[in-house]
């Protein structure tokens, strides 16, 4: 089953029946949001309010994962973070399961937050992301279920580790992915840790002016080291400015804003580049799976090698 086949294909009757699980009015209006790489989301419009319905891709988050995701989101929401509240079903469940096309699907319903995605990383935008991410990490050290966390040396996703290569695949790409499969970050220090978002990007943040009004898509959360999240943002700044200018100043602006809320230790900073590389391997694998192109990731790798040298 391909990535697209694993995504939910909407039918009006199913969407209407799903809305009833949360007690929404009959005959709601709905529209699909631009397709993401993993899950499928919809805006549901009622006479009084708008909501976002997310249906998880097959073979992605299991029910335990979704429970943890909802618990963390509502923990942040209760602490006044710009995170959508997840609405419980009329039965009091944190998510709903339903049958469509002979498959079981899982879905959550959230409030729809105001704001728009930023079109670029500016100084003000990266500073705002730095502040919000630091606050989220502080709250992530005191999140429900944090005592159950297990911490291991970070490695590439299992999907990348399991990838099989064919004779038709470009030898350069094969070499790149074999490096990814073998990539491990050995943690030799007691680095600060807790719950991570793992996907803070322009696509997953909403802004009004230079203020964040929404942090979205917590489906990748897990227990880990905060420097991984920091590396994701640094990777995003590099990725979005490769053809424009060297983004060193923006990276410094982001790190300075973050450190003003939660200081970054020298030990953490020594691991930052390693986590940017980890993120680059993950995105390369996703891009290759979706469109067969890893050009941008190769450019990021070249940039990282340049500034490291």
Same structural domain, 239 and 138: yes
pLDDT category of residue 215 using cuts at 50, 70 and 90: very high
| Domain-located, residue 2 | no
Residue-level pLDDT at 5: 63
Q: Is the pLDDT of residue 89 over 90?
A: yes
Same structural domain, 250 and 288: yes
Span 178-198, average pLDDT? 90
pTM (two decimals):
0.91
Quickly tell me which residue has 């911490």 as its tokens: 151
Residue-level pLDDT at 272: 95
| Domain-located, residue 6 | no
Span 163-181, average pLDDT? 80
Cα separation of 57 and 100, whole Å? 12
CATH number of the domain residue 147 falls in: 3.90.1200.10
- Percentage of the chain modeled with pLDDT above 90: 60
Same structural domain, 230 and 292: yes
Residue 41 domain boundaries = 12-111
CATH number of the domain residue 38 falls in: 3.30.200.20
| Domain-located, residue 1 | no
Single out the residue of 177, 167, 155 nearest to residue 286, CA to CA: 177
pLDDT of 185-194, one tens digit each?
A: 999 888 999 9
CA atoms within a 13 Å half-sphere pointing along the CA-CB vector of 14: 19
Same structural domain, 176 and 37: no
First and final C-alpha spacing in the chain = 42
pLDDT of 113-164, one tens digit each?
A: 999 999 889 999 999 999 999 999 999 998 887 887 888 888 887 777 777 7
Between strands 96-100 and 86-87, the pairing is unpaired
pLDDT of 53-88, one tens digit each?
A: 999 988 778 889 999 999 999 999 999 999 999 999
Domain boundary among 77, 111, 145: 111
| Domain-located, residue 69 | yes
Between strands 211-215 and 103-111, the pairing is unpaired
pLDDT of 17-60, one tens digit each?
A: 999 999 999 889 999 997 666 789 999 999 999 999 999 988 77
How far is Cα of residue 179 from the mean position of the Cα atoms in its chain? 23
Same structural domain, 243 and 143: yes
Q: What's the domain count of the chain?
A: 2
Same structural domain, 222 and 131: yes
Residue-level pLDDT at 177: 84
Q: Which H/E stretch holds residue 231? A: helix 226-239
Same structural domain, 24 and 94: yes
| CA Rg value for the chain | 20
Helix runs in 102-170, H state only: 123-140, 158-161
Residue-level pLDDT at 245: 62
Cα separation of 210 and 68, whole Å? 30
Span 168-188, average pLDDT? 86
pLDDT category of residue 229 using cuts at 50, 70 and 90: very high
Same structural domain, 208 and 164: yes
Specify the DSSP class assigned to residue 183: -
Residue-level pLDDT at 164: 73
Residue-level pLDDT at 1: 44
Same structural domain, 152 and 213: yes
Domain boundary among 51, 78, 111: 111
| Domain-located, residue 298 | yes
Same structural domain, 78 and 130: no
Same structural domain, 97 and 206: no
200-to-28, 224, 258, 288, 308 alpha-carbon distances in Å = 31, 15, 13, 21, 24
Burial of 125 (0-12, 13-18, 19+ CB in 10 A): buried
| Domain-located, residue 136 | yes
Q: Which of 1-15, 19-33, 207-221, 255-269 has the lowest mean pLDDT?
A: 1-15
Per the prediction, the chain carries an average pLDDT of 89
Both tokens assigned to 241 = 């400015």
Residue-level pLDDT at 37: 64
146 or 262: which leads in pLDDT? 262
Q: Is the pLDDT of residue 309 over 70?
A: no
- Give helix 226-239 / helix 123-140 axis angle, nearest 10°: 160
What does the H/E/C string look like for 177-204? Answer: HHHHHCCECCCCCCCCEEEECCCCCHHH
| Domain-located, residue 45 | yes
Cα separation of 14 and 10, whole Å? 7
| Domain-located, residue 118 | no
188 or 234: which leads in pLDDT? 234
Same structural domain, 158 and 266: yes
What does the H/E/C string look like for 58-108? Answer: CCCCCHHHHHHHHHHHHHHHHCCCCCCCEECCCCCCCCEEEEECCEEEEEE
Domain boundary among 111, 146, 177: 111
């Amino acid at each position: 089953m391909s990535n697209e086949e694993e995504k939910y294909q909407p039918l009006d009757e199913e969407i209407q029946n799903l809305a009833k699980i949360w007690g929404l009015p009959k005959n709601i209006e709905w529209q699909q949001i631009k397709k993401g790489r993993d899950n499928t989301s919809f805006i549901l419009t009622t006479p009084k309010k708008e909501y976002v319905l997310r249906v998880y891709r097959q073979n992605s988050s299991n029910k335990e994962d979704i429970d943890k995701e909802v618990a963390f989101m509502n923990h942040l929401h209760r602490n006044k973070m710009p995170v959508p509240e997840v609405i419980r079903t009329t039965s009091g469940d944190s998510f709903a399961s339903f049958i469509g096309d002979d498959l079981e699907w899982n879905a959550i319903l959230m409030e729809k937050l105001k704001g728009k995605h930023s079109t670029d990383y500016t100084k003000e935008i990266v500073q705002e992301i730095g502040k919000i991410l630091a606050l989220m990490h502080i709250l992530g050290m005191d999140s429900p279920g944090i005592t159950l966390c297990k911490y291991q040396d970070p490695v590439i996703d299992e999907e990348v580790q399991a990838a099989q290569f064919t004779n038709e695949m470009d030898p350069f790409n094969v070499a790149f992915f074999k490096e990814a499969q073998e990539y491990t970050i050995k943690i030799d220090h007691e680095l600060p840790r807790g719950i991570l978002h793992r996907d803070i990007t322009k696509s997953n943040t909403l802004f009004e002016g230079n203020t964040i009004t929404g942090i979205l898509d917590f489906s990748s959360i897990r227990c880990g080291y905060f420097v991984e999240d920091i590396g994701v943002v640094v990777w995003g700044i590099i990725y979005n400015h490769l053809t424009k200018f060297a983004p060193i100043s923006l990276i410094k602006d982001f790190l300075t804003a973050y450190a003003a809320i939660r200081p970054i230790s020298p030990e953490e900073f020594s691991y930052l580049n390693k986590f940017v590389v980890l993120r680059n391997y993950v995105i390369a694998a996703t891009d290759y799976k979706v469109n067969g192109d890893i050009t941008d990731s190769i450019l990021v790798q070249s940039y990282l090698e340049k500034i490291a040298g």
